[in-house]
């Protein structure tokens, strides 16, 4: 879409987010969640990546994900509106009438070869879940009961079948790389938005909160803390936006490398930035009624979502291999990311 059209879409999302934001955990109610999801669906954002060529670039979708992360929202923008339509588009099944989300391992990482249990992630308004096996086979799974999650803003449901559902199609090597890169980018973008917004909230609080007769923000230690948090958020934003640009302009293996770098950076830096904001808020940020823990929960879960840093760094360290067919020119190929790296400790 052109610049003016995208500005209108982003402004619509901002207006929606302002209206439906959640200011405390007590405001997360089923009726309000359903109302917000219907309002998001009415914006028509699911059509942005449904067609080929898509109506919106990856860069535009990443900016929308970033905007969505800036406010505590219970809506499923990533799972049902951005990720599942892109997967169906890559499979050539974008015209179907169903409304799926994506299925992940129970620890919320990309499904591995032996997935004992799958969950439908970010699944408000979804009617099924798409499971992408390590070999690229995509299956549709029915949804079961809700599953517990630390992120109070997001809904999880059990994906019934553990990968044995209806086969929808199969992703080739390059489409599989595109899919993984796109998923990493939009998740990282939402975390960038959440971390950046929370640092801004804590900075505003430091300006207003007075201690010893002076604003807290006038103390040099607090200034350094917020300055460092701002720098790491900007680093995350730069890495994520570059990865989104690569998906629009570079070959899939390069885009996947950039996406892995971005997610590895965000996994660490977004949590660091939110921790800094929590320190500035002080004791009030530890209370149930304050919005701080909603941001903290989102970034802590997001740091392990799809792929942890322990998964990503070994994959980035592996050298590229070059394959050629019939003696022709070689094509750089990244090792497949199945998150079969070190298990996450709890």
Q: What pLDDT band is residue 94 in, cutting at 50, 70 and 90?
A: low
DSSP 8-state assignment for residue 130: E
103 contacts: CB under 8 Å, gap ≥ 6: 111, 118, 119, 120, 121, 129, 130, 131, 132, 141, 159
pLDDT at site 163? 54
Distance CA 196, CA 198 (A): 5
Two structure tokens written together for 229: 């948090």
Upstream peptide bond of 53 is cis (omega within 30 degrees of 0): yes
Two structure tokens written together for 303: 């740091």
**Which of 112-141 are b and which e, b meaning 16 or more Cβ less than 10 Å from the residue's Cβ?**
eeebeebbbbbbbbbebbbbbbbebebbbb
> What percentage of the chain reaches a pLDDT higher than 90?
77
Closest by CA to 281, choosing from 345, 182, 183, 202, is 202
CA distances 164 to 111, 128, 131, 140, 263, Å, are 13, 13, 9, 8, 29
Q: Using an 8 Å Cβ cutoff, are 119 and 104 in contact?
A: yes
**Which of 23-56 are b and which e, b meaning 16 or more Cβ less than 10 Å from the residue's Cβ?**
eebeeeeeeebeebbeebbebebbebbbeeebbb
pLDDT at site 341? 36
pLDDT at site 273? 96
Neighbours of 233 (CB within 10 A): 27
216 against 255, higher pLDDT = 255
Q: Rounded to an integer, what is the distance from CA 248 to the centroid of its chain? A: 18
pLDDT at site 115? 65
pLDDT at site 162? 56
Q: What pLDDT band is residue 117 in, cutting at 50, 70 and 90?
A: confident
Average pLDDT, the chain: 88
The torsion angles phi and psi of 42, rounded to 5 degrees, stand at: -65, -20
Over range 227-253, report the average pLDDT: 96
Please state the pTM of the whole predicted model: 0.90
Q: What is the tens place of the pLDDT at every residue in 149-202?
A: 999 999 999 998 755 788 999 999 999 999 999 999 999 999 999 999 999 999
- Please determine, for residue 109, whether its predicted confidence score (pLDDT) is greater than 70: yes
Q: Using an 8 Å Cβ cutoff, are 168 and 87 in contact?
A: no
Distance CA 88, CA 81 (A): 11
- Please determine, for residue 293, whether its predicted confidence score (pLDDT) is greater than 70: yes
Over range 263-284, report the average pLDDT: 95
119 contacts: CB under 8 Å, gap ≥ 6: 103, 104, 105, 106, 108, 147, 156, 157, 158, 159
Over range 295-322, report the average pLDDT: 89
Over range 325-340, report the average pLDDT: 40
Helix axes 220-249, 173-208, angle to 10 degrees: 160
Domains annotated for the chain, with CATH where assigned, are: 174-333 (1.20.140.10)
Q: With 0-12 CB in 10 A as exposed, 13-18 as middle and 19+ as buried, what is 210? A: exposed
Q: Using an 8 Å Cβ cutoff, are 229 and 276 in contact?
A: yes
CA distances 327 to 34, 247, 252, 324, 335, Å, are 57, 28, 22, 6, 21
- Please determine, for residue 333, whether its predicted confidence score (pLDDT) is greater than 90: no
Compute the residue count for the chain: 346
Q: What is the tens place of the pLDDT at every residue in 16-72?
A: 999 999 999 999 999 999 999 999 999 999 999 988 889 999 999 999 999 999 999
> What percentage of the chain reaches a pLDDT higher than 70?
90
Q: What pLDDT band is residue 346 in, cutting at 50, 70 and 90?
A: very low
135 against 329, higher pLDDT = 135
């Amino acid at each position: 879409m052109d610049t003016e059209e995208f500005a209108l879409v982003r402004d619509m999302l901002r207006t929606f987010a302002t209206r439906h934001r959640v200011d405390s955990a007590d405001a997360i109610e089923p009726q309000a969640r359903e109302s917000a999801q219907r309002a998001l669906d009415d914006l028509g954002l699911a059509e942005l990546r449904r067609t080929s060529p898509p109506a919106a670039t990856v860069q535009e979708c990443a900016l929308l994900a970033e905007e969505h992360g800036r406010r505590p929202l219970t809506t499923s923008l990533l799972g049902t509106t951005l990720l599942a339509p892109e997967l169906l588009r890559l499979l050539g099944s974008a015209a179907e009438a169903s409304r799926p989300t994506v299925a992940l391992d129970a620890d919320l990482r990309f499904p591995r070869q032996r997935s004992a249990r799958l969950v439908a992630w970010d699944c408000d308004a979804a009617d099924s879940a798409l499971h992408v096996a390590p070999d690229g086979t995509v299956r549709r799974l029915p949804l079961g009961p809700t599953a517990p999650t630390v992120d109070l803003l997001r809904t999880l449901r059990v994906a019934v079948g553990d990968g044995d559902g209806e086969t929808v199609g199969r992703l080739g090597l390059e489409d599989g790389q595109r899919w993984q890169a796109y998923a990493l980018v939009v998740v990282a973008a939402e975390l960038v938005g959440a971390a950046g917004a929370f640092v801004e909230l804590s900075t505003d609080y430091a300006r207003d909160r007075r201690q010893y007769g002076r604003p807290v923000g006038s103390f040099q230690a607090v200034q350094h803390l917020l300055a460092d948090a701002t720098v790491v958020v900007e680093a995350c934003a730069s890495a994520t936006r570059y990865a989104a640009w690569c998906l629009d302009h570079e070959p899939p293996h390069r885009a996947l490398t950039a996406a892995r770098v971005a997610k590895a950076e965000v996994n660490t830096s977004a949590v660091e930035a939110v921790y800094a904001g929590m320190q500035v808020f002080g004791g009030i940020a530890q209370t149930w009624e304050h919005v701080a823990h909603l941001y903290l929960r989102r970034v802590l879960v997001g740091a392990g979502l799809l792929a942890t840093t322990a998964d990503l760094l070994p994959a980035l360290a592996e050298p590229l291999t070059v394959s050629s067919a019939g003696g022709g020119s070689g094509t750089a190929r990244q090792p497949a990311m199945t998150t079969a790296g070190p298990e996450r400790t709890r």
